[in-house]
């Protein structure tokens, strides 16, 4: 094969590799976005900030039951210090398209009581090509430490 024919083939291969790498990076970044959104919600809860929690929970504020749960959680689970996530199990992890499901999260504030386990209703919208969005829908009251969502 001549050098002239080889250069376009190498260029096409390099572009294909760059495109696949970009898609893979966007796909993997979604995991961090979801975890970051859940972490921010738990921080607001630990600070006792029900208003911030309701802003992070899509569609929760107009739902009286959801809003009451968020306010009760903020009051009951208020703790000074930095939130540490101990365990994270998402049913929407690595979804290629849109998906909704529970995420079980165990968290604590060091030296501020026993760990708390809660379920977060997470919705992923979009695709890797079109862009992704994470919506947190609901946050449960604490569940049993060995419980499942």
Which string of b and e fits 110-130 if b means at least 16 CB within 10 Å?
Answer: eeeeeebbbbbbbbbeeebee
Beta bridge partners of 118: 105
Question: What does the pLDDT look like over 2-31, one tens digit per residue?
Answer: 777 778 887 777 888 888 787 677 777 778
Give the CA radius of gyration of the chain: 20
Q: Where are the domains of the chain?
A: 3-139
Question: What does the pLDDT look like over 81-131, one tens digit per residue?
Answer: 999 999 999 999 888 788 999 999 999 999 888 999 999 999 999 877 777
Q: What's the pTM value of the predicted model, to 2 decimals? A: 0.84
Kindly report the CATH number that applies to the domain delimited by 3-139. 3.10.450
pLDDT given for residue 111 in this prediction: 87
């Amino acid at each position: 094969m001549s050098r002239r024919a080889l250069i376009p083939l190498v260029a096409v291969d390099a572009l294909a590799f760059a495109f696949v790498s970009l898609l893979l990076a966007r796909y993997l970044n979604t995991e961090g976005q979801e975890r970051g959104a859940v972490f921010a919600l738990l921080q607001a809860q630990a600070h006792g900030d029900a208003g911030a929690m309701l802003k992070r929970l899509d569609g929760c504020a107009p739902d009286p039951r959801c809003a009451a749960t968020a306010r009760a959680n903020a009051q009951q689970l208020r703790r000074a210090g930095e939130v540490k996530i101990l365990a994270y199990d998402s049913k929407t992890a690595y979804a290629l398209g849109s998906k909704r499901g529970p995420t079980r999260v165990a968290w604590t504030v060091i030296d501020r009581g026993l760990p708390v386990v809660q379920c977060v209703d997470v919705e992923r919208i979009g695709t890797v090509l079109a862009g992704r969005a994470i919506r947190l829908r609901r946050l449960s009251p604490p569940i049993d430490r060995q419980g499942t969502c």
